[in-house]
Amino acid sequence: MIAFMLEAFILAVLLDLFLGEPQVYAHPVVWIGTLIGYLKEHAPERFRTAYGFLLATISVTLFTVAGCALSILSYRISPIFSLLVTAYLIKSTFSLSFLWSVSREIYEDLKAGRRELARTRLPALVGRDVSKLSDGMMASCVIESLGESFVDGIMAPLFYFAILGLPGALAYRAINTLDSMVGYKDEKHREMGFASAKLDDLANYIPARLSMILIACAAIMGGSPSGAIRIGLRDSRKPPSMNSGFPMASFAGGLSLRLEKLNYYVIGEGLRPCATGDIPRAIFLNRAAAALLLIIAVAIMAAWGLPFNWGVFSWPTIF
């Protein structure tokens, strides 16, 4: 029989693939983002570094405890209801179809010559100025995002779910949301966001490096596995982030492409520049790596269960 969490996980994947992202008002990550935004706007003028640690502690703890409590309490109402609630919570921690859908839309726009429409979609993937980018540079943006988001959008939450269950996935998503909202190095956020940025670096450290192996394995189906490892090791330190360079460089090597953020870094020096037609290849590589990861996660849970099993709480199987 399949364990409750494995059933919920499989249902969460199906929810993502067939229904996509929840509406903004119903998205748990939006809820925790609202709390983080409120705490950020009410930060004191003094002791901002200490306040940043407090902000991170409150946000991660509240999101994790509230999510686990919803799963546990809903079980008292109905096991089936709890399965749906738990699957919904798990799904909120990762994103598969959204990334693929936006990337495909940008590809279709560029292919049809709708450059301005493509530019309006790009901010969903990257935060840089895209107003003057060529088609090839816009394609590079999409491919970089498909690489980088493989870790924080797919691999890391599933990694922590596979080894720690729902609490691990929820805690990771709260940490990553904190980093995206306050983990900047500008004057406003430098002190307050220090704790969030360091937590995110720590949380992504192992998944980012393991991603190279998965991307290289996925590249067997239509790319260069050796290139994924070689460029991944060579160019992983070029972006300023200590983690994002590993999946991006592995994508560059696996696809034999040169990725560039103007005036910041070049990954895959000596390889062919990106073209619009490379975006479907990158989507396929992301999907293949995600599929491999899902198989591994299911195998881990089916064979060994979850190390963190809710203490005294335990559910029978549903199906």
Closest among 200, 265, 201 to 231, alpha carbons compared: 265
pLDDT at 306: 58
Contact (CB, 8 A) for 82 and 315 = yes
Task: Work out the mean pLDDT of the chain and round it to a whole number.
Answer: 89
What H or E segment, with its residue span, contains residue 67? helix 48-77
Q: How far apart are CA 158 and CA 94, in angstroms?
A: 7
Q: How far apart are CA 188 and CA 103, in angstroms?
A: 32
Collapse the DSSP code of 133 into the 3-class scheme (helix H, G, I; strand E, B; otherwise coil) and give the result.
coil
Collapse the DSSP code of 78 into the 3-class scheme (helix H, G, I; strand E, B; otherwise coil) and give the result.
coil
Q: Is the dihedral of CA 61, 8, 19, 97 positive or negative?
A: positive
Q: For residue 191, what are the CA distances in angstroms to 49, 64, 180, 184?
A: 5, 24, 15, 9
Closest among 119, 142, 114, 121 to 130, alpha carbons compared: 119
Instruction: Give residue-wise pLDDT tens across range 61-71.
Output: 999 999 999 99
Interstrand relation of 272-273 and 257-261 (parallel, antiparallel or unpaired)? parallel
User: Which structure tokens are listed for 259?
Assistant: 């990725």
The answer, as to whether pTM is greater than 0.85, is: yes
Contact (CB, 8 A) for 259 and 267 = yes
What H or E segment, with its residue span, contains residue 81? helix 79-91
Is 96 exposed, middle or buried, given 0-12, 13-18 or 19+ CB atoms closer than 10 A?
Answer: buried
Instruction: Give residue-wise pLDDT tens across range 3-44.
Output: 788 889 999 999 999 988 888 888 999 999 999 999 888 888
Q: What is the mean pLDDT of the segment spanning 145-158?
A: 94
pLDDT at 305: 64
pLDDT band of residue 226 (cuts 50, 70, 90) is very high
